[in-house]
Amino acid sequence: MTVRLALFDCDGTLVDGQAGVCNAMDAAFADVGLPPPDRHLVRRIVGLSLPQAIHQLAPAADESLRAAADVAYRSRFRAAREGGSLVEPLYEGIPKLVADLSAAGWVLGVATGKSQRGLEHCLATHGLSARFATLQTADHHPSKPHPAMVLAALAETGAKPADCVMIGDTVFDIAMAGAAGVRALGVDWGYHTAAELLDAGAEAVARDPAHLKELIG
């Protein structure tokens, strides 16, 4: 039996997590004595694993300072999540898209730069945990655009590359899909532009979740 796998990025694709990321990054940089990063640049690196993201935001800082910022970010983000102040709203139309794809027989998964705990909390908050059969996170894989997350999802679900589509809002997602040999679709409601996604190799960019469903096929 053919397994059709639709893999989603999380922040910028399923949920709008930019506020939580920006707030935690501001606090973490302040904790270690670094100047606050430009929020536009922070949004641009959403999707990368945390060490790579901090390296891009503070390239002149020494390794020990970036490592301290990594620890501080995790602590700040966890505190926001556990304190109930973290807001990661689903984009409009995502619950219907997820339900429709599941009903059509698609196996769903997530490949994200979030931690496993953070992803599980996000999906549980929105009542979507049962919808996703495979969760690939930064805890267990190299940062995007390395193909490890996609390859692990394929192995876990039994899907072949030709029957998998990766959906994301950044060039990191599109490049990861290309490295893994699977289809790549972009979404234009996230953190990189449609032109950037197409230039990176996306076969198309969805303007909204209903359009995305049509593109997935």
Q: Report the C-alpha gap between 96 and 112 in whole angstroms.
A: 21
Q: How many alpha carbons fall within 13 Å on the CB side of residue 116?
A: 7
User: Residue 4's Cα: distance from chain center in Å?
Assistant: 20
The DSSP bridge pattern shows strands 132-136 and 204-206 to be unpaired
| Per-residue tokens: 179 | 């490295």
| HSE toward the beta carbon, residue 112, CA cutoff 13 A | 23
The residue from 11, 163, 169, 173 that is catalytic is 11
Is-catalytic flag, 38? Answer: no
Q: Which of 9, 16, 169, 173 is catalytic?
A: 9
Is 11 marked active-site? yes
Residues 6+ apart with CB under 8 A from 40: none
Rounded to whole angstroms, the Cα distance separating 207 from 192 reads: 13
Bridge partners for 183 per DSSP: 165
The terminus-to-terminus CA distance of the chain in angstroms comes to: 18
Tell me how far apart the alpha carbons of residues 13 and 9 are, in angstroms, rounded to a whole number: 6
Helical pair 18-31 and 63-83, crossing angle rounded to 10 deg: 130
Query: Could you give the residue numbers annotated as active site?
Result: 9, 11
